[in-house]
């Protein structure tokens, strides 16, 4: 059983004790066959980008599995950055974003609500 479930515009996120599942939601306005292809493709791409960011020195969860429209990742136990933002943490975020950009990765939704601070990372 999930410990917590979050429903966003793009996905349902199920948080368990040690893992997180992110499942992309179908878009009813799309042709179902196209929607399935897009969700699977975008899920694979997201997993690749997470792994690429990690290889370039950015702290990310480890992707454990990708199946269809679902990514399974390790759960990072920490605090949401939005609750503990400091100038020092802001500088660390800036360094991480610089690493992403140097690797050719553009996040598109960088916000403290999308970040977890754990063990000084």
Q: Which residues does the annotation mark as catalytic?
A: 109
Alpha-carbon gap, residue 97 to 18, rounded angstroms: 26
Alpha-carbon gap, residue 15 to 50, rounded angstroms: 18
Q: Which helix (H) or strand (E) holds 63?
A: strand 63-67
What Cα–Cα distance (Å) separates residue 89 from each residue in 54, 77, 83, 118?
A: 19, 17, 11, 11
């Amino acid at each position: 059983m999930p410990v917590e479930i979050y429903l966003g515009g793009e996905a349902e996120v199920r948080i368990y004790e040690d893992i997180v599942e992110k499942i992309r939601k179908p878009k009813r306005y799309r042709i179902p066959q196209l929607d399935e292809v897009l969700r699977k493709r975008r899920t694979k791409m997201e997993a690749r980008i997470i792994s690429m960011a990690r290889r370039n020195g950015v702290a990310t969860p480890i992707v454990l599995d990708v199946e269809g429209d679902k990514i399974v990742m390790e759960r990072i136990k920490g605090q949401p950055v939005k609750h503990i933002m400091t100038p020092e943490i802001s500088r660390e975020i800036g360094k991480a974003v610089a690493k992403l950009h140097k690797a050719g990765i553009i996040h598109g939704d960088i916000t403290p609500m999308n970040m977890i601070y754990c063990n000084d990372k």
